[in-house]
Structure 1
């Protein structure tokens, strides 16, 4: 039926000819014995014969000619298809399918239009039939028994090639395709704009250190500013709650230079970004956090929802301006509690969050010494604080910030931040040993309690390895303890995990032995980079190392976290135990491996001594 519709549609005259003459109906009534308009019938039949003589097998690699592709009329928003017939129509269709195209044409001429034998032969020959007379005889024999019934059925709407049914297309699919078309058009426009921008000649360089604010499209008046009391009345405690502070928050020229430098730094600007941080311009006007003077520098601190940008101008010399950009996405009440405004070899001044009620400093290497108060200005700028990870080779002191949040937003809890050279100091936390018969803590705790301060006093010197590494937080997890032989005393295994703003984390496993002394540094065991170990997604760990007792004997030590049910040691020494720790007498500097069975049913390979 699709082919029939297609042939009839192609036989219709053009609009110009249609105005000159009317198209006769191919149908006729029982009382009308006049000869139908042969020109129209001849055109239709020629299309039928041409389609019937098309190549039986068209090469798959070639598209068939357009004339050989049947298609229905296209109406946007509608789906067209022939009317379905009943059982009698299906029976007639199958019977006609057994005839040749010329015999089927003769059947229509004789049975539907009622043409006599000679007239039907003339029409068929005019249309290009090869055996017109034989076709008429075949159709007469086909319809001899039931001419009336066949003719009546052929005149019904099921066989009318001019009758179509119309239904709306799939509305959901139409909407989806419309959106896809719009997206494709937008992508094409953007691609064209980018190509034009690439082909356009570069503008002449501007000799100044930063382009005017108008060149970047951002103005000082566009900067967003949080109300002064927002932090006290919001459930989102991060940089979005910081009000603008500083003596130059109304200095539009300074703010414009900072915006222009971030949007398009001049040739004389030093741009410093942390790992995996883009220095690209902000997509919209950023939020102003600070604009003032710190240590003979004009400083502007901006926040675009994902990054901090610190702009600095030297007020005493013509030194190049500097722009520092760092990721701070998903900052919270602790990681958004302080930002470095100035960095010198002696330390840094921090801008303290408005929700911090108490600012102190303490030395991690002296856990028994109380924290001391730090002076801050009315704008929240602290006095200089030495870096936790000093550039010098010694490890005599490891100062950190100890801040306490306001009772108006939290339970007035204290937390530690360590300055490692980046814009944001690192949040230090602690996970204690699991108690006997009690479940372990579900997440790290603040490192301000006695046990946490003692644990960090043995790990603090290792923070020097994290200087300028885009660290966000460092957690010290005491995952196992054991009694050592030969009077070695008590030992504690610790997994120190550093997590970056980018997401990946590195771990360092250490062992601190009581016989080494209360102020001794923890012994390094192993380092693993880019791992989920010692995190909420890697809650189990097994480690092993070589240890020499006070009596000079060598031992293979191994320990596992709480879910470990048995340990297996293999190599120069072998052992198996159902405990979570093991100490096996060994030859000098033995080589061995350790694995563990977990309560979950799985097995885990241990991280080993890095030496």
Structure 2
């Protein structure tokens, strides 16, 4: 339960509580390990390379435990579970200190610090590990952070990731040994606070990794050289001279020594499946398997070969992005070609293997800077198989549409009465439309794609992935497309909350107004709405309960949960509450459940009960309460947290 206009956070604990022992620090490290490793990864100098940064970040975090009882200044982490925890404050300080030491240049006048040397553990032989690649915004932020020195990077990360105020950032940096804290804060300020949200991106998550082989050629050369130097030269020369192998034919792909016939057949451009243009008209299903091959480069075998080779073994310089739950390995057999052509300043190939959409893009003037994107689409039919992203440029997105789509349009979800603006369709390709995925801090519009086919009209929203998410409205189990007047009006105050599920592999997002509650100061009725994002992998769902008062342009998130059945077809029940301040200054606990909720009870800091699905109880600012509900069938229900 969250509150609007709540009181400030509690005061920082006193220094008397700041003694840390090994057990306390270990508990904090284990509980918050992913966050601490992300912190170390972001502070470490990018010049180390992504693989060494990952291993070093894990090594520094694992070495952050004290050797006995330590005293440390308590600096709050500004988040539940870490705030005021001296154990977390200690290990975070150790991580920041050693990450800054790792960025110091080696000197002949002094022994190197342990953090300056490559980590002994952990080590992974034969593989390179690196985080999932993000989008252009994450790349731009990474480049800007790489231009900063270590203390400035640490200041930016402590501000943006840890949400620390400048006073606490100063304490951490000073304790970590930074000489000029003011200069570090000033440099960090130039990066911009509007990009803080990107620090939580998978681009900077060293606990969610992709694996690629190290330089197979070099490994083989070294092994042969250790045994017989002359024989090694002969073997490596023969491998380099094999026709049809190496770097040139496969562009940005890594070298291949595989001789598996099935794998070779899957990468043969002459075996790529091309569906007839009219096949979808007689097919029993409307899915990606009946899309025809489009684009002016469908006959470019060299381009298709490069795309297939990069799919199977992307080189070190290829930017690979994978939606959560999507395997990134090569195709099991010859895939289906959906598109090959020029989009803006790139050559683009889109392929489908029955489970995934794979999009390969390379510059017009070469293969340097190639990119490979994957998205899971198994079981997609109808509206879910209606659009694939062709390209993004200048904040706009361009789609390739299914052959059964008759019309496309762009509309602003925040302005349901403004109507839709038609988009042109040329060989299944739309004209560019503004993408909400490019928005960072402000949310003044949320443009969605409106698609009309033989079954009706649907709304699709770009969430930064290859396939847009379908938007629906209504009670779970009886949802409808949100393209109607009622659906767009329901979505309007909550469209900006879609930013919370970007790059999560989202398949559909449903909005449901489960209750409407009269406000105690007679200023109107507030709407209680539940939004539920379903993913292609089944798990990873995200549920938000939002509270919208009259006259407010946006809904406020009252509660949220992940991987729960609430608000879904399996269990449509939901219960949430919020602290609300009336115009006269009085504070109230407002709570609501779905239509099947028979009673609600609040315990803890607020005591109150109601024999309906709505609860109103007078309280004080900052009060905390636990909600319990009873359904009409006698089953109990707890409030979303």
Q: Contact between 2:406 and 2:453, CA under 8 Å: does it hold in 1? A: yes
Q: CA deviation at 1:256?
A: 1.5
Mapped partners of 2:436, 2:369: distance in 1: 28
Quote the residue 1:380 is aligned against. 428
Quote the residue 2:253 is aligned against. 210
Q: CA deviation at 1:467?
A: 2.3
Q: CA deviation at 1:201?
A: 4.8
1:430 aligned to which of 473, 496, 506: 473
1:446 aligned to which of 473, 481, 484: 481
Quote the residue 2:576 is aligned against. 543
1:494 aligned to which of 529, 537, 541: 529
Q: Does 1:510 align with 2:546?
A: yes
Q: CA deviation at 1:214?
A: 10
Q: CA deviation at 1:392?
A: 3.2
2:439 aligned to which of 391, 396, 399: 391
**SS of 2:472's equivalent?**
strand
Q: Contact between 1:567 and 1:581, CA under 8 Å: does it hold in 2? A: yes
Task: List gaps (5 residues or longer) in structure 1.
Answer: 1-196, 432-439
Quote the residue 2:390 is aligned against. 341
**SS of 2:499's equivalent?**
helix
Q: For 1:5-24, what aligned pairs fall within 5 Å after superposition?
A: none
Mapped partners of 1:325, 1:421: distance in 2: 12
**SS of 2:569's equivalent?**
coil
Q: CA deviation at 1:456?
A: 1.3
Aligned residues: 393
Q: For 1:123-522, what aligned pairs fall within 5 Å after superposition?
A: 201=220, 206-208=246-248, 209-210=252-253, 217=264, 218-316=267-365, 319-377=368-426, 379-406=427-454, 410=455, 413-431=456-474, 442-504=477-539, 505-514=541-550, 516-517=551-552, 520-522=553-555
Q: CA deviation at 1:559?
A: 0.7
Q: Contact between 2:247 and 2:255, CA under 8 Å: does it hold in 1? A: no
String of CA shifts for 1:207-227, please: whole Å, max 9, x gaps.
442369996512112111222
Q: CA deviation at 1:595?
A: 0.8
Mapped partners of 1:227, 1:444: distance in 2: 34
Task: List gaps (5 residues or longer) in structure 2.
Answer: 1-215, 222-235, 241-245
Tell me the TM-score normalized by structure 2.
0.59
Q: CA deviation at 1:443?
A: 2.3
Q: CA deviation at 1:240?
A: 0.6
Structure with greater helix percent: 2
Mapped partners of 1:266, 1:417: distance in 2: 33
Mapped partners of 2:321, 2:476: distance in 1: 39
Mapped partners of 1:318, 1:330: distance in 2: 33
Q: Pick closer, same or farther for the CA change 1:603–1:211 going to 2, 3 Å.
A: closer
**SS of 2:330's equivalent?**
coil
Mapped partners of 1:274, 1:589: distance in 2: 39
String of CA shifts for 1:5-50, please: whole Å, max 9, x gaps.
xxxxxxxxxxxxxxxxxxxxxxxxxxxxxxxxxxxxxxxxxxxxxx
**SS of 2:292's equivalent?**
coil
**SS of 2:382's equivalent?**
coil
Per mean C-alpha deviation after superposition, the further-off stretch among 260-269 and 454-463 is 260-269
Mapped partners of 2:464, 2:563: distance in 1: 22
String of CA shifts for 1:546-589, please: whole Å, max 9, x gaps.
11112221111111112111111222332222211011112233
Mapped partners of 1:317, 1:302: distance in 2: 20
Q: Contact between 1:213 and 1:259, CA under 8 Å: does it hold in 2? A: no
String of CA shifts for 1:287-340, please: whole Å, max 9, x gaps.
111111111211111000000111111003553221111111111111111000
Quote the residue 1:163 is aligned against. none
Q: Pick closer, same or farther for the CA change 1:317–1:260 going to 2, 3 Å.
A: closer
Q: CA deviation at 1:542?
A: 0.9
Quote the residue 1:552 is aligned against. 585
Quote the residue 1:139 is aligned against. none
Q: Pick closer, same or farther for the CA change 1:558–1:304 going to 2, 3 Å.
A: same
Mapped partners of 2:632, 2:285: distance in 1: 39
Mapped partners of 1:220, 1:211: distance in 2: 17
Q: CA deviation at 1:521?
A: 0.6
Quote the residue 2:94 is aligned against. none
String of CA shifts for 1:65-109, please: whole Å, max 9, x gaps.
xxxxxxxxxxxxxxxxxxxxxxxxxxxxxxxxxxxxxxxxxxxxx
Mapped partners of 2:367, 2:609: distance in 1: 69
Q: CA deviation at 1:606?
A: 1.0
Q: For 1:543-582, what aligned pairs fall within 5 Å after superposition?
A: 543-582=576-615
